Structure formats: C-alpha cells, structure tokens
Amino acid sequence: MPELPDLEVHSANLQKKLKDEVVERITVLRPKRVHASEEKLNSAFKGEKVKSVEREGKEMWLRIGDHTLGIHLMLNGELILCEGDEAARYVTAEISFKSGKRLAITDRQAWITVRLDPEPETVPDALAKEFTAEYLQDQLQRHKSKAVKTVLMDQDVVRGLGNAYTDEVLWTSRIHPASPAGKLSPEKVQELYKTIGEVLHESIKAIRKAHPGLTSGEPREHMSVHNPDREKSPTGAKIETTEIGGRKSYFTEEQVKY
DNA sequence: TAGAATGTTACAGG
DNA sequence: CCCTGTAACATTCT
C-alpha cells in the first residue's frame, strides 16, 4: 500500500536493521507471485550479506551479495521484519537471516510481484535528477488530451507518484486533477514540477518525524486532501471527490480547471 | 454485506 | 498501428 515517501522511509529504516545480515535461506509460499524458483533464489542469496535496501520507483530492491531481489508491493503489500517467533500473516515469501531475524514479504491481496535481478529502469524516478521540468513539459505535451493526474500517475512517464500523492501535488499547485495535460502554461508546468519535489520531500520529513523507525504502513495524517479523515483542506475549502482513470481523486474548488 | 483499497495490465474500441 | 479508457486481477477489511 505504500507510496514513494513511505517507501523512502521504510527502505532507510530496513537498511539500518538489515545491513550486513547474512541470509540463511529464502522460502517461497506463493510461487505464483514470485518470478523465480525457490532454488534459484537460494543459490543467489544463501550465505550472502545484505548490502542495501533501496526504493526504486514504487518498488523495494534488496541488494544482497551480487544479486537483487525486487519487490513491488502493489496496493496492500508489506515487508514485515519479525524477530523471535512472531509470525506474519499473508506471507508470499520469507527471508531468514543467520541472526534469527526474518523478513516476511506479505500481501493480503496476493497481488505483489517478487523478481530476481530486475532490469534497471529507463523511466526517471520522481526524485532523480533525470526528472527535469523540461522532461515533464515534454511528457505533458505528448499526452496533452489526458487528464494531468493520469499523466503524473503513469509509471512510463515518471516513477513513484501514485493516486494519493498526485492528489496532494495537484492540490498544492492548485491544479484541478481533470485538467488536460496540454493546457498548462509553461510557467504552470514549472511550478508543478517544483511542487512535486517539495511535496515529496516534505512528506518524507513529516513521516520521519512522526514515525522515526517505520518499516511498514502508510501514515496519512500529514496529507492535505487525499485523506478521508479530513473534511476541509488546510486552507479551509471543502474536500470533494471524483473519479479519474478509475481511481478516486480528492480535490477542492481552490484548484483551477484549465 | 457490498464496496473500497495509495496499482498494474490486457484488451476493446476509436 | 497508435492512443485512450475500462475492466479484471484476488483478497481482506469496514
């Protein structure tokens, strides 16, 4: 269920807890979701040390030895770090470490995908320097008749933005989510670009502050409009909802439809 | 209890 | 062939 800011916090915290841990074995419980055999996974990871835990777009990549385990958590996936004999529910696969710690890769919806050595991505990540204002302008023009929200959520355009944070970004830049992408002026696109970085970085900061050791779950109390617990935006406008691209979108009348 | 859930993808239609 | 929008995916929680 997590989005970019949540995953950014999860990955940093998981890395702290798992760095240099040695893999004892990896067990696959739902083979349908794991695109590699248990044998291949074990020959890749058994006895190897965890180097890093990284966020890649909306995926989590575990760098272990000379290989990578790529995990896409989809809507409801969670990585649960277990110590002792606590057992996680809805386990798709589990990594046991020599120390006795276990990392459960879980999803109650059974939608997640786990891959061995995923291909590096060519589409820029929302927080990478390759994601520039010029690039965004170009992509918005390429999909000029689509709703701006749909373009921002398209993982072939930019990786990392999902339903919740595109609503946050569009409210912060006061753009109605259904505005056709091509109608935004170059100045507005510039502002939107800047807002994407600010909203993401500020959300990461807010999550770290409220939940310093978080490794799973998605706090939303810092969210301005995509937040069923709120009736009004921070500036006092009533939050409304509509459907865009089959997803529920939260917005207010403060946002201009271009 | 029917509907919703912060995602992705296959496919139909234009 | 390219572009777009919709439905399906499998499961649990509210």
Which element (helix H / strand E) includes A168?
Answer: helix A163-172
A98/A49 Cα distance (integer angstroms): 10
Is residue A90 over pLDDT 70?
yes
A72 beta carbon to strand C: under 7 Å = no
Tokens matching residue A80:
């649960």
Confidence of residue A1 (pLDDT cuts 50, 70, 90): low
CA of A187, C1' of C9: distance in angstroms: 40
A180 beta carbon to strand C: under 7 Å = no
CA of A109, C1' of B1: distance in angstroms: 19
Confidence of residue A2 (pLDDT cuts 50, 70, 90): confident
- Report pLDDT digits (tens) over A151-208: 999 999 999 999 999 999 999 999 999 999 999 999 999 999 999 999 999 999 999 9
CA of A2, C1' of B5: distance in angstroms: 12
DSSP letter (8 states) at residue A109: T
Is residue A246 over pLDDT 90?
no
Section A34-62 average pLDDT: 96
What is the structure's pLDDT at A86?
84
A91/A120 Cα distance (integer angstroms): 26
A109 beta carbon to strand C: under 7 Å = yes
CA of A75, C1' of B6: distance in angstroms: 7
Residues 120-159 of A with CB under 7 A from strand C: 143-147, 150
- Report pLDDT digits (tens) over A6-26: 999 999 999 999 999 999 999
